[in-house]
Structure 1
Amino acid sequence: MTSGELHDLFLSTLVREAGGTRRHWRLVVGDVKLYPVETHPHCNWTVTPSGSAAATGEVERIADMLRARHPIVRN
């Protein structure tokens, strides 16, 4: 999976599970940041959500679920 595919999966999952629009969630999620697998062998990506506590909580909940399914992504 690529970081772009992961970002799309984030948005689709958030719209389906939390409601709202892809545009709203794109602004809340921000970019998917990748780290080298050599220094982060268990999970090489992160997101830094911004927005309300409820919105960032939803993003963190989905991030935990996606980390379990897709811990390593590529550019």
Structure 2
Amino acid sequence: MTADKLVELIVARLVRDHGRSKHHWRRLVGPIRLYSRATHPHCNWAAAPIGTFQEIAAIETLLDDWRLRYPLLSD
């Protein structure tokens, strides 16, 4: 799984569950930062969402679920 593909999956789920546009959620999710697997062997990615408290909570909850499914991403 790549970071770009993960963002697409996250955005699609947010649109389905909470409405609004893909552009809106993509902007709030922001980029996925990748880290080296040597220094982060359990989960090599992170995101820093922005938005209202409710939007951030929705994104963070979804990110936690996706971290369990895809802890390691490729470039």
User: TM-score category by the smaller chain?
Assistant: over 0.9
Give me the whole-angstrom Cα distance separating, in 1, the residues matched to 2:32 and 2:4: 8
Name the counterpart of 1:43. 43
Q: Does 1:70 align with 2:70?
A: yes
TM-score (structure 1 length as normaliser): 0.95
Shift of the alpha carbon at 1:13? 1.0
TM-score (structure 2 length as normaliser): 0.95
Cα root mean square deviation, aligned = 0.7
* Runs (4+) off by over 4 Å: none
Give me the whole-angstrom Cα distance separating, in 1, the residues matched to 2:41 and 2:13: 25
Name the counterpart of 1:7. 7
Q: Which runs of 5+ in 1 are unaligned?
A: none
Name the counterpart of 2:53. 53
The residue type equivalent to 2:48 in the other structure is T
Give me the whole-angstrom Cα distance separating, in 2, the residues matched to 1:18 and 1:42: 29
Shift of the alpha carbon at 1:17? 1.5
Give me the whole-angstrom Cα distance separating, in 2, the residues matched to 1:3 and 1:22: 16
Shift of the alpha carbon at 1:54? 0.5
Alignment: residue pair count? 75
Alignment of 1:24-35 (within 5 A): 24-35=24-35
Shift of the alpha carbon at 1:5? 0.5
